[in-house]
A and B are shown apart, each in its own frame.
Chain A
């Protein structure tokens, strides 16, 4: 009985290490392919697909997150007479943590899933083999443009998300908590520094890379069949979200200590 559980645990550890090793190999292959000039048109198309089309859902998420955070903090801050700091607290929270993490999670759900579904479908329908047969490296053709697009577009989405989140906070503080616009803005300019924003953007570049690499990895290694595509897509989204939350903690420790 004990041996059975030990074998099970050992097998899972080996599988996890193999998966980790395979991702490292994929990253190595991506770096090798980066020596070629990336296909500009492909990168732009991916930027439109993965970035622009994700903006509405990021905007919606950040607007309501900014609003609800302000709703919760305003009550307490007003009680202690600290209403003049609400704008700053909301802006710092959004710029440092909520903006990058929630945009990353939304992008993992939308972009990561789309990347995995597309590439895994290409794999099961032999389109990846067709690329190889036509002397075209699938990493250079499929992975590199998506990686570049995600690394560029996620920070842009975070900038929009930060602005919209802070705007959401302004709506609640002005119309619900009766704090003047001037005080809200004054608080933001007093408490927020440039590093609050740049730190969040640095995180988002990493999150973008993680979403693209994990999405492509699961796509390229999807088991055959429709079930395989579904399984790979789920694993990709879950994997990217886990990486975002764990790496966010460590990056916050490094960037904001």
Chain B
């Protein structure tokens, strides 16, 4: 970047971030074409093991982990860049659940034994993780968590059902949040546990979705958990959950921003190629203005995502900006996916075309980590209402 005296602001990505973006785009374009995405929608596991291993070899699973755990010690913004590319291309599989929802909390809240035990495995791509937080309501409020873990003879015994647990069908470990103490305040008395997915008391059922992503119902019946498998502190689960969700939400929004950019690019290309009335449909103002509206939406979303990621990387408080970003991502993704299909016309409505893959995924991205209403409510509470 050109050095300008006295200016600290910088909208540029670093050289390293640009390299990572290029590497990710090359890899995903080649290894994960849309034919593969469609194939994996029908696959029971929902991800490609060889692709997963290759990603681990490139260091993606351990991107932001310290070197001592087999990671590359990269910045949160680097991970955001990677998520943008995964969203752009559509990468099916448990990367988000393993890295964003589990590796980051393990790094922050795990004790030395847990970190040494689990993080290098994640970095090497050997183990898949997911978080079991939401229950039958599907929402992200503390009051929705009913699963209970009772201390009996020095061990916790976990009972309850979790819903919308992504990729539990292939997970080796689950991070489960449950009630360990009764309290009138729903945010109190919650604790996180590390649970081996092969525990005999666990039953996992894959819920068919129209997004192509795997969602599961996970039932816990008298699942015994030793105290050593508590993550963080007993009773501090909700604070941890909020912290986990902050980072994960920004990463999910990055995935959405990448997807939105991809839709815009596809629609813009198509508008220049498709001839009707003897000219490209992109020469008509109705189409142009739709594309411009999409562009303004995408660029606005991108800058909110980048700002939120930057705030997180500096450690500054940013609950307001994160809530704004998720609400915006939800609204923008819906609008752009629909406009993308409309510009394509009937071909956009077919399985042969790729744009419908994004349109279907809107619904998963929108509800995960809080729907629009939840985040608008957070924004309202943060601006003095």
State whether these chains interact: no
